[in-house]
């Protein structure tokens, strides 16, 4: 979807996922939020939780959308515990903080005892068979 941005038009891949114009391995959805698998996971089961309404960062969202996002984050964290009791939750706000997709999202990253998964070299693209098995595991209520 094209987001008007001070006269410029910028594409937003996460808005495209919300609108089903781009594919995603969706694991959770409600009226205002969505969660799906990261296509370059740091670890098995790395998920992203987003508001359906576009905003670059958490502080751009209306209060109700922020609260809805946190509720969904809680649900995704609970489901992540099916994979591992331990996980990291991260939010990158701004390019200098490592934000690449400027549609606010929480990362939920299961941890299995690996030393440091937060390196670009440890990121292989999500394989389809793995994605299918994770969707089955994480999308059930
Ligand atoms: P950030 O650095 O916080 O902006 O992270 C953006 C995340 O989105 C990265 O972990 C990417 O691998 C992930 N990502 C980018 N495009 C897609 C997509 N189309 N589907 C799923 N994950 C994506
Ligand atoms: Zn967007």
Which residues does 84 contact at the CB level (< 8 Å), separation at least 6? Answer: 45, 110, 111, 112
32 touches ligand 1 (CB under 6 Å): no
CA nearest ligand 1 atom 19, residue: 13
122 touches ligand 1 (CB under 6 Å): no
> Does 105 qualify as catalytic in the annotation?
yes
For 21-45, what is each residue's pLDDT tens digit? Answer: 999 999 999 999 999 999 999 999 9
Does residue 46 surpass a pLDDT of 70? Answer: yes
Alpha carbon distance 67, 131 (integer Å): 28
133: tokens are 């098995």
27 touches ligand 1 (CB under 6 Å): no
> What residues does each domain of the chain span?
2-115+122-139
Which superfamily does 2-115+122-139 belong to?
HIT-like (3.30.428.10)
For 51-109, what is each residue's pLDDT tens digit? Answer: 999 999 999 999 999 999 999 999 999 999 999 999 999 999 999 999 999 999 999 99
Nearest bound ligand to the CA of residue 22: 1
End-to-end CA distance of the chain: 30
100 touches ligand 1 (CB under 6 Å): yes
For 122-141, what is each residue's pLDDT tens digit? Answer: 789 999 999 999 999 999 99
Please report, for residues 49, 75, 89, 133, the alpha-carbon distance to residue 68 in angstroms, rounded to integers and kept in the order given: 11, 11, 16, 27
The atom of ligand 1 lying closest to the CA of 17 is 19
49 Cα: distance to centroid of ligand 1 (angstroms): 11
115 touches ligand 1 (CB under 6 Å): no
In the predicted model, what is the mean pLDDT of the chain? Answer: 93
The atom of ligand 1 lying closest to the CA of 105 is 3
Report how many helices (DSSP H) and strands (DSSP E) the chain contains, helices first. 3, 7
């Amino acid at each position: 979807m094209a987001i008007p941005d001070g006269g410029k038009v910028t594409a937003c891949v996460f808005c495209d996922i919300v609108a089903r114009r781009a594919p995603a391995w969706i694991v959770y959805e409600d009226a205002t939020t969505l969660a799906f698998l990261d296509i370059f996971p740091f670890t098995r089961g790395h998920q992203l939780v987003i508001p359906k309404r576009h905003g670059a960062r958490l502080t751009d969202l209306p209060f109700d959308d922020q609260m809805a996002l946190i509720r969904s984050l809680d649900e995704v964290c609970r489901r992540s515990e099916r994979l591992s009791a331990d996980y990291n939750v991260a939010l990158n706000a701004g390019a200098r903080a490592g934000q690449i997709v400027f549609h606010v999202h929480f990362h939920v990253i299961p941890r299995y005892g690996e030393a440091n998964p937060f390196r670009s070299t440890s990121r292989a693209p999500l394989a389809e068979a793995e994605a299918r098995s994770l969707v089955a595991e994480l999308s059930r209520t």
